[in-house]
């Protein structure tokens, strides 16, 4: 299983980029690539932005991939449940693409393509910070799967 | 209403400290102080660490304060619900202390003292990253209360 992470919008915060890189580097033996999907220009309406970004997101996804979008109205997991979910995905062995959206969420096109919707929280986080949270959560999941002593409950 | 935030354990990550400072600085007209509660030495067992940290935490809290601890088994809110909760606390006008715990959670002494338990997520986040998340959530709450255009649902 290869993992692709799509972040929508150029990260402007170097601190976040640096934290994300640190966590992803600590995940060993898994092929992870990160792609930045260009965010839509702010001069358009929210709906137009979402739909433009949606088309960009879809263009980064292959038909064969399993797509999980991060969405605060998605299924919520504990860290351990997320690890179990990820382990089941590994067994299914399709490549998996996680999509971490921009400021305004996803277009219907993206919702339609998504195989799974994952919520990190009922709260809305900044789309910058959510990248760091997700990278840490992915690292945490792999330490749980590998039985490493990182996660405490 | 004054707000005090207790972070347990010296932050070792400058990127997190910097993100936290940025968000808290953006909250205007509210008296917010941040205190670092020393974390317990790692050489002790988890239970001893928790109980030592618990005593330290309590020593930073005045009797009159309303204490809200961040706890993944606490009440979960959307960002808007958290803002509404905070606004009700403002009306009650007791000073409020938020406690963001260390790696191992809280001792029973802290649970007993807490007036409220707030969960940012069912997931367990790194106790470093959780500081950035909380600072951003507090800023977001005050923008919601003030009707500023920061939060999108």
CATH code for the domain in which residue A61 is found: 3.40.1280.10
Residue A59 included in any domain = yes
CA distance B78 to A115: 24
How many folded domains does chain A comprise? Answer: 1
| pTM strictly above 0.90 | yes
Residues of chain A in contact with residue B77, where contact means CB-CB under 8 angstroms, are: 122-123
Q: Please, which residues bridge with residue B51 across strands?
A: none
Which residue range forms the structural domain that includes residue B16?
Answer: 3-146
Q: What is the mean pLDDT of residues B2-30?
A: 93
B151 pLDDT more than 90: no
Query: Which pLDDT does position B26 carry in this prediction?
Result: 96
Residue A151 included in any domain = no
The tens-digit pLDDT sequence of chain A (153 residues) is: 899 999 998 877 999 999 999 999 999 989 999 999 988 777 778 888 889 999 999 999 999 999 999 998 899 999 999 999 999 999 887 899 999 998 788 999 999 999 999 999 999 999 889 999 999 999 999 999 999 988 877
Structure tokens at B61: 């809290």
pLDDT in tens, B83-141: 999 999 998 878 999 999 987 889 999 999 999 999 999 999 998 899 999 999 999 99
Residue B151 included in any domain = no
Query: Which pLDDT does position B31 carry in this prediction?
Result: 95
**B143 lies within 8 A of chain A by CB:** no
Let me know: does B134 contact B71? Beta carbons within 8 Å. Answer: no
**B102 lies within 8 A of chain A by CB:** no
CA distance A50 to A126: 16
Residue of B20, B132, B134, B149 to mutate, testing the A interface (most A Cβ within 10 Å of its Cβ): B132
B43 pLDDT more than 90: no
Percent of chain A with pLDDT strictly greater than 90:
73
Residue B153 included in any domain = no
Residue B128 included in any domain = yes
Residue of A8, A15, A75 to mutate, testing the B interface (most B Cβ within 10 Å of its Cβ): A15
Query: Which pLDDT does position A10 carry in this prediction?
Result: 82
CA distance A151 to A70: 21
Residue A152 included in any domain = no
Residue B17 included in any domain = yes
Local confidence band at B11 (pLDDT 50, 70, 90 cut-offs) = confident
Residue B141 included in any domain = yes
Contact B78 A123 (CB under 8 A): yes
Closest to A132 (Cα-Cα) out of A49, A18, A31: A18
Contact A77 B151 (CB under 8 A): no
């Amino acid at each position: 299983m290869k993992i692709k992470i799509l972040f929508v919008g150029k990260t402007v915060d170097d601190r976040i980029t640096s934290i994300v890189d640190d966590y992803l580097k600590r995940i060993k033996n898994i092929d992870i690539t990160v792609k930045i999907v260009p965010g839509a220009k702010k001069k358009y309406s929210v709906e137009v932005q979402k739909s433009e970004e949606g088309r960009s997101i879809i263009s980064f996804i292959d038909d064969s991939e399993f797509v999980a979008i991060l969405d605060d109205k998605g299924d919520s997991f504990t860290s351990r449940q997320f690890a179990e979910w990820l382990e089941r995905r590994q067994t299914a062995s399709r490549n998996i693409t996680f999509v971490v959206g921009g400021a305004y969420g996803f277009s219907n096109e993206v919702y339609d393509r998504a195989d799974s919707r994952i919520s990190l929280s009922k709260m809305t986080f900044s789309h910058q910070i959510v990248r760091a949270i997700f990278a840490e959560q992915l690292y945490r999941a792999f330490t749980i799967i590998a039985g490493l002593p990182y996660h405490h409950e």
